[in-house]
Amino acid sequence: MALKTFRPYTPSRRFLTMLDKSEITKQEPEKSLVEPKKRTGGRNAHGEITSWHRGGGHQKNYRLIDFRREKTGIPAKVAAIEYDPNRSARIVLLHYADGEKRYILHPVGLEVGMTVQNGAAADILPGNALPIRNIPPGTMVHNLELSPGKGGQLVRSAGGAAQLLSKEGDIALIKLPSGETRKFSLDCMATVGQLGNLDHENVTYGKAGRTRWHGRRPTNRGVAMNPVDHPHGGGEGRVKGNHPQTPWGFPTLGAKTRKRKPSDRLIVQRRKP
């Protein structure tokens, strides 16, 4: 898959790049695996903005993705590769031998017509889901479970892959894409392979309107405001006198916000030194 560029017949076209989507084989989603998606606009139940700069954007329906991969012992055939507006990775439509249909994330190397399996007896091939106990060290995996049976929560975006480093006792060490090394139970499920759509990180939007299609509204800098609106505001010219703060005076831009969690004992090496 490659990036498409355009002749600059408008200023925004000069820098705009798009994915060619040549791997997508089906345009419309499977109706039985789609449900409506309610938009909040960044507001909570009281109508207060809790996530700023959200709103508008193109209407989307949610595709039901099988993150748990608990359907063991039944082979599934890859019927189509589809676009999902809710995530950066592509999705794959599976037709199981018993007639059921499900979506999974699309790894590199999985093509239409191939077969995937779930469970301990599955081969080490892209798209197959196994307990970490049955995956050899050095294998690249994605869609990792944090606790057995809960479903994959880690490594789910385009191009993502974690590496299984070692296994000792009932614990496995896995290096995540962020650089963090973490302990996992050997009973947690993981899917073999690296997620596809590798060029997603290289896409350039090229114009403000394209970010609005994604539901992202403009952001105003604090230094461009008045003192009544932001701690960074005011002054003749640009002033860099105070530490980076939110509009309400809390530290930001690198200030540590993580609280002590029981899972801290499972982190062997932090993603930041």
Amino acid letter for position 54: R
Looking at every residue in the chain, the average pLDDT score rounds to 94
High-pLDDT (> 70) share of the chain, %: 100
Q: pLDDT of 13-44, one tens digit each?
A: 999 999 999 999 999 999 999 999 999 999 99
Q: pLDDT of 179-191, one tens digit each?
A: 999 999 999 999 9
Tokens 């002033």 label which residue? 239
In CATH, the architecture of 18-40+58-201 is: Roll (2.30)
Interatomic CA distance for residues 163 and 137, integer angstroms = 8
Q: DSSP assignment, residue 143?
A: S
- Report the pLDDT value the prediction gives residue 82, as an integer from 0 to 100: 97
Q: DSSP assignment, residue 251?
A: B
- Report the pLDDT value the prediction gives residue 64, as an integer from 0 to 100: 97
Q: pLDDT of 100-121, one tens digit each?
A: 999 999 999 999 999 999 999 9
- Report the pLDDT value the prediction gives residue 258, as an integer from 0 to 100: 85
Tokens 């994915």 label which residue? 19
pLDDT band at 237 (very low <50, low <70, confident <90, very high): confident
How many residues can be counted in the chain?
A: 273
pTM of the model: 0.90
Q: With 70 as the cut, is the pLDDT of residue 1 above it? A: no
